[in-house]
């Protein structure tokens, strides 16, 4: 009941304007030889560069940052092993550097490390070799070397690591043995039949594990119930009905019809009584918590399966494992990682790490590579976590402080490419609506506002030529590496608690069909030429994105319940809207809704569904969001057939994280920031659903075995043509679940103060994969 009634919040996933690629130097002519100019020391500019930014959450860690804005703070202080160019291509020989042509101009790219990838078909082993240059120094003057790389790998591999990296998900030789601390872990497995038998008739140890899991969930729900008191929430009526938290907790979770919490005086006894009611009944808890008996099944299977494996390992001849066999230090500048098989995205994860200083994030007294000591106590990352708000690394800038919503930096005098020309840098929290004016009147120097029609018109007014590039503001826009979408949580929007049933899919398709038809007018009105409507949940910048010329390309949600096309080429807009609403009625009927033919209205919802839903849009409380018009038009249309869509537009977007983290969201609007490789594992694989022990990035809670298979097969193939076919099939499954309505591919707008920023020093040819912060050490103020 909690999950179905709770007031939702919405998360806007920001798109970073910082690439992982290190910096470059421009070569003036594409074919002419380049002479190396004499290095002349120039005075450092003391005028601070002020950049407008969205709100930070102070997770400024190369290990634990969770928003793009926090990651940018970290990135300014860090340096990655991997170098990429303006097209997203990898620069394998970055120490000496490589040349590449973009738009007819030759550029020279260099970085801190060479990367070599070698797949041996006979052994089915891929070897990744990373060799760093020997003159890289952290901002405190200490030199970076292979020990810092080893330290970083072991932090990301620790069993207690909770950040967003998925390094441990790759089949690195010895990774599982190390994480389970048994040399037989990668050989011994628990078969599906063994696990099923144990869950059917659990032993004493399994019962204890399940009871502990159930108790932990219920106790956490007590804290959640208490948070409802003293706040203006959806639960006001329930709080009024149950003045004491113990009774509201019992209202939500009591499963004994004869139990009366009001007859029990103290809270502790009520909690004890409710826990006793459930015991090890995780299926009933799943139904009451997540709407389906299978909600906690992956968690239970994982916990019981691990227990069975531990028992099997305990009786085996396995010994403790002090290190990861496949991760080796070859010298003070060279590290090697060996992985079973080949997975295309792996190089971006394995070689794409930042080199964090072990002497700062760890404990030097706890590091001795030859003695299997890696800079921290195993399964205790507290020393690493303690530095989360104060990053330090080998990047171009040194973090000074975060104060009054401003992050302060100073140039890293030891930066291996030279101390940045601009000594002081500030990232200042600024709302989207204030960014253009901030640059125009001189409060900030650079900003990344949304590229709406209104924003483009606004910025033109500051230039005397009334253009986007002028004497006050210089605007630059490129296709954004990401896309906007409307999400639907399958766990909370379904019929009878079964997210994967045809009825549940039809329920979600009813909403998706109406959302979809209003995309064109909304996106054109908000963005104009700065964005386009997309029909698959993938950025159009990706090579894997379906194209209109493809034979099987379709407009999203353009078929009715019988598989017929909803629209014809001769239809005008109003006719399309009517046709979409009629098709939505068919989906709602198929989902089990009761329809009154006389009134033309739905009068009752099937079990587990409702006639009223809520969607959250982060429009700053003012409707300033590209999807807001879609939602407003959909709300008006659904009202005609008896279904209510409530639009919640919170002014404080920080609370949105809590909504997704606690899995209480129904529908929401957001935007994904994509990666160079279109790997879908992090966002759509079932293991990464909420509370499943993975990345928690699968906020749709889609769990489809065929989708999981396609994702794994695609990431393991070197054949791009095969991968594209597999990803197209995966995208079709996502749309069939109707958990996502792709809305737009926008351009990334970055604006500079022509008056204060020396535009000749800004990195040229900004692209989707090459942001303005590349070459930031060369950027100067006027």
pLDDT for res 5: 35
pLDDT at 46: 85
Rounded Cα distance between 585 and 599, Å, is 13
What class has domain 482-746? Answer: alpha beta
Query: For the chain, how are helix, strand and coil distributed in percent, rounded to 5?
Result: 35, 20, 45
3-class DSSP state of 394: coil
40 pLDDT above the threshold of 80: no
> Of 172, 757, 701, which Cα lies nearest the Cα of 469?
757
Average pLDDT, the chain: 89
| Residue 237 pLDDT > 50 | yes
Q: Would you tell me how many other CB atoms lie within 10 Å of the CB of residue 513?
A: 29
- CATH 3.90.76.10 location in the chain: 49-185+322-410
Distance CA 706, CA 723 (A): 15
Secondary structure of residue 110 in the 3-state scheme: coil
| Range with the poorest average pLDDT among 362-371, 467-476, 763-772 | 763-772
Structural tokens at position 386 = 């303690």
State the pLDDT at residue 480. Answer: 84
pLDDT-derived band of residue 545, with 50, 70 and 90 as boundaries? very high
How large is the greatest C-alpha to C-alpha distance in the chain, in angstroms?
89
**275 phi/psi in degrees, rounded to 5:** -60, -40
**Residue 710 or residue 294, greater confidence:** 710
- Report pLDDT digits (tens) over 388-398: 999 999 999 99
* Delimiting residues of CATH 3.10.105.10 domain(s) in the chain: 482-746
Is the pLDDT at 30 greater than 90? The verdict is: no
For residue range 723-748, what is the model confidence (pLDDT) as tens digits?
A: 999 999 999 999 999 999 999 998 88
**The pLDDT value given to residue 19:** 36
What is the per-residue pLDDT across 104-138, written as a single tens digit (0 to 9) for each? 999 999 999 999 999 998 999 999 999 999 999 99
Q: 366-396 b/e with 16+ CB inside 10 Å = b?
A: ebeeeeebbbbebeebebbbebbbebbbbbb
Dihedral over alpha carbons 280, 282, 283, 284 (to 10 degrees): 80
Q: Given CATH 3.90.76.10, say whether it is the number of domain 49-185+322-410.
A: yes
């Amino acid at each position: 009941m909690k999950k179905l009634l709770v007031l939702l919040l919405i998360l806007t996933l920001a798109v970073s304007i910082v690439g992982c690629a290190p910096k470059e130097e421009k070569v003036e002519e594409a074919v002419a030889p380049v002479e190396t100019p004499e290095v002349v020391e120039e005075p450092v500019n003391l005028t601070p560069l002020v950049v407008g930014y969205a709100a930070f959450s102070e997770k400024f860690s190369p290990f634990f940052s969770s928003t793009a804005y926090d990651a940018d703070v970290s990135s300014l202080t860090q340096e990655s092993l991997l170098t990429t160019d303006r097209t997203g291509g990898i620069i394998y020989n970055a120490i000496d550097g490589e040349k590449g042509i973009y738009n007819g101009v030759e550029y020279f790219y260099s970085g801190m490390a060479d990367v070599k990838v070698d797949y041996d078909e006979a052994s089915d082993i891929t070897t990744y070799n990373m060799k760093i240059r020997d003159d890289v120094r952290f901002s405190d003057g200490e030199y970076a070397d292979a020990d810092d790389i080893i330290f970083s790998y072991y932090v990301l591999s620790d069993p207690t690591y909770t950040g967003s990296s998925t390094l441990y998900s790759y089949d690195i030789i010895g990774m599982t043995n190390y994480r389970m601390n048994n040399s037989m872990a990668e050989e011994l497995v628990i078969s599906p039949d063994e696990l099923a038998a144990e869950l059917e008739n659990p032993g004493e140890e399994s019962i204890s594990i399940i009871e502990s899991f159930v108790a932990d969930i219920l106790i956490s729900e007590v804290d959640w119930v208490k948070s409802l008191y003293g706040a203006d929430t959806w639960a006001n009526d329930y709080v009024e009905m149950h003045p004491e938290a113990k009774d509201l907790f019992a209202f939500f979770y009591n499963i004994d019809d004869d139990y009366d919490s009001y007859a029990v005086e103290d809270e502790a006894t009520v909690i004890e009584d409710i826990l006793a009611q459930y015991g090890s009944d995780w299926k009933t808890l799943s139904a009451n918590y997540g709407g389906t008996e299978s909600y906690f099944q992956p968690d239970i299977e994982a916990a019981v399966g691990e227990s069975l494996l531990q028992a099997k390992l305990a009786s085996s001849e396995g010994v403790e494992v002090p290190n990861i066999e496949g991760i080796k230090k070859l010298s003070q500048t060279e590290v090697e990682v060996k992985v079973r098989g080949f997975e295309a995205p792996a190089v971006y994860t394995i070689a794409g790490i930042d080199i964090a200083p072990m002497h700062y994030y760890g404990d030097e007294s706890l590091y001795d590579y030859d003695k299997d000591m890696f800079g921290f106590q195993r399964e205790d990352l507290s020393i690493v976590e303690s530095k989360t708000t104060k990053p330090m690394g080998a990047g171009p800038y040194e973090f000074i402080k975060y104060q009054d919503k401003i992050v302060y930096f100073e140039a890293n005098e030891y930066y291996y490419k030279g101390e940045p020309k601009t000594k002081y840098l500030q990232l200042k929290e600024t709302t989207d609506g204030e960014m253009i004016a901030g640059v125009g009147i001189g409060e900030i120097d650079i900003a990344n506002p949304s590229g709406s029609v209104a924003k483009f018109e606004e910025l033109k007014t500051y230039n005397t030529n009334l253009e986007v590039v002028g004497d006050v503001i210089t605007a630059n826009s490129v296709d954004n590496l990401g896309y906007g979408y409307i999400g639907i949580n399958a766990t909370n929007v379904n019929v009878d608690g079964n997210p994967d049933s045809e009825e549940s899919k039809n329920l979600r398709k009813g909403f998706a069909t109406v959302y979809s038809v209003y995309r064109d007018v909304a996106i054109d009105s908000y963005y104009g030429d700065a964005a386009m409507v997309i029909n698959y949940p993938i950025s159009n910048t990706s090579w894997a994105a379906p194209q209109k010329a493809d034979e099987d390309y379709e407009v999203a949600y353009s078929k009715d319940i019988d598989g017929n096309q909803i629209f014809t080429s001769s239809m005008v807009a109003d006719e399309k809207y009517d046709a979409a609403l009629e098709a939505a009625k068919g989906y709602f009927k198929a989902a089990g809704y009761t329809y009154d033919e006389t009134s033309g209205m739905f009068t009752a919802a099937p079990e587990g569904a409702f006639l009223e839903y809520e969607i959250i849009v982060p429009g700053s409380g003012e409707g300033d969001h590209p999807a807001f018009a879609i939602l407003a038009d959909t709300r008006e249309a659904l009202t005609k057939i008896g279904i209510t869509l409530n639009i919640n537009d919170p002014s404080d977007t920080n609370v949105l994280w809590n909504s997704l983290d606690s899995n209480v969201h129904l529908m929401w609007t957001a935007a994904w920031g994509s990666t160079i490789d279109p790997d879908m594992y992090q966002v759509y694989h079932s293991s990464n659903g909420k509370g499943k022990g993975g990345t928690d990035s699968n906020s749709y809670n889609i769990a489809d075995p065929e989708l999981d298979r396609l994702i794994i097969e695609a990431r393991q193939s070197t054949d791009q043509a095969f991968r594209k076919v597999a990803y197209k099939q995966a995208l079709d499954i996502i749309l069939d679940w109707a958990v996502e309505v792709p809305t737009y591919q926008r351009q990334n707008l970055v604006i500079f103060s022509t008056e204060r920023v020396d535009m000749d020093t800004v990195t040229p040819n900004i692209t989707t994969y090459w942001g303005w912060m590349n070459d930031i050490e060369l950027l100067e103020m006027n």
